[in-house]
Amino acid sequence: MDARALRRMATEADEQHREAMRTMPADLHERHFSTADPDRTASRRRFLGTVGLGGAAIAIAGISVPVLGGVAGAQAAEEPYAPDAADLQLATFAWALELTAAAAYGLAEGTKVLTSGEAEVVRLFQGHHKDHAAAFETLLGTVKGEEVGGTTSTTAAATPIQSLVDGLGPQITGAPDAASLMQVLLSIEEGAAATYLLALGNLDDTLLAESAAKILPVESQHAVVWSQLLEVPIEDYLPAFQTTADAFDPASYAG
């Protein structure tokens, strides 16, 4: 693939990511941090925009994923924000998965098998995963012991998923060529997309479900870019129906 086509695909993925981050729910952020340290509040505000997609839906590989805008604001305004333990566990796993993906991309950038254009895509996608992790950090209240809505948060900061780090690290650093490395990155993105679809089927909390719905298509777009670079047949990376078969197991996280 020539450099121009690669740059175009990367730009399209980046635009989708920026739109998702721009419209991540802001209501929870304001409720959590309206009385917090101003500098910290300002830095976190960069990750969250105003919900603006209403009841729209995002098409992903032949399916439509609802974007649950509008309702979130009403929920946050009417009652204290308190996701149940199962939702918090699943969202914390998603946070940890984003940290894991960012770490994997960091390892990939350090290899010597990529062209300069491919390495630039690695850096771009790593930044996306870091942004997604930061958004979950904001949504979940970030620091253990922080006062949130008059109570003390018990949500500890997530860490990379060690079992995945142990499995993916040697595959990345030992990749003999660019195609082998991109195959590993593709598996991460396909697994992430499937994990977010799994989350959407299990999350009861509106704000967390909305966040998952907006991040899912970005991970899917990453997978499309790597699939096209690998010249994977289109029917293989754009199935008629997205499934959860490749999802990472939330039970693997013991953070």
Asked if residue 118 has pLDDT above 80, the reply is yes
Supply the mean pLDDT for the chain.
76
Asked if residue 254 has pLDDT above 60, the reply is yes
Kindly state the tokens that stand for 247: 């999802």
Report pLDDT digits (tens) over 216-249.
999 999 999 999 999 888 766 565 556 788 899 9
pLDDT: is 126 or 29 the higher one? 126
What contacts 58, CB < 8 A, 6 or more positions away?
A: 64, 65, 67, 213, 214, 216, 217
CA distances from 44 to 67, 93, 130, 248 (A): 22, 20, 13, 28
Report the pLDDT averaged over residues 2-14.
Answer: 85
Question: DSSP secondary structure string, 112-134?
Answer: SSS-HHHHHHHHHHHHHHHHHHH
- The CA distance from 94 to 87, in Å, is 11
Identity of the residue numbered 183: Q
Asked if residue 107 has pLDDT above 90, the reply is yes
Identity of the residue numbered 60: I
Asked if residue 64 has pLDDT above 70, the reply is no
What contacts 10, CB < 8 A, 6 or more positions away?
A: 120, 121, 124, 225
What contacts 255, CB < 8 A, 6 or more positions away?
A: 92, 96, 156, 158, 159, 161
Confidence of residue 8 (pLDDT cuts 50, 70, 90): confident
pLDDT of residue 168: 96
In sequence order, the β-bridge partners of residue 41 are: none
CA distances from 208 to 104, 135, 148 (A): 24, 10, 17
pLDDT: is 123 or 147 the higher one? 123
Cβ proximity of 64 and 254 under 8 Å: no
Report pLDDT digits (tens) over 183-227.
999 999 999 999 999 999 999 988 899 999 999 999 999 999 999
Asked if residue 48 has pLDDT above 50, the reply is no
Taking alpha carbons only, the member of 252, 203, 242 closest to residue 219 is: 242
Domain locations along the chain: 3-252
Q: How much of the chain exceeds pLDDT 70, in percent? A: 68
CATH 1.20.1260.10 fits 3-252, yes or no: yes
- The CA distance from 215 to 42, in Å, is 22
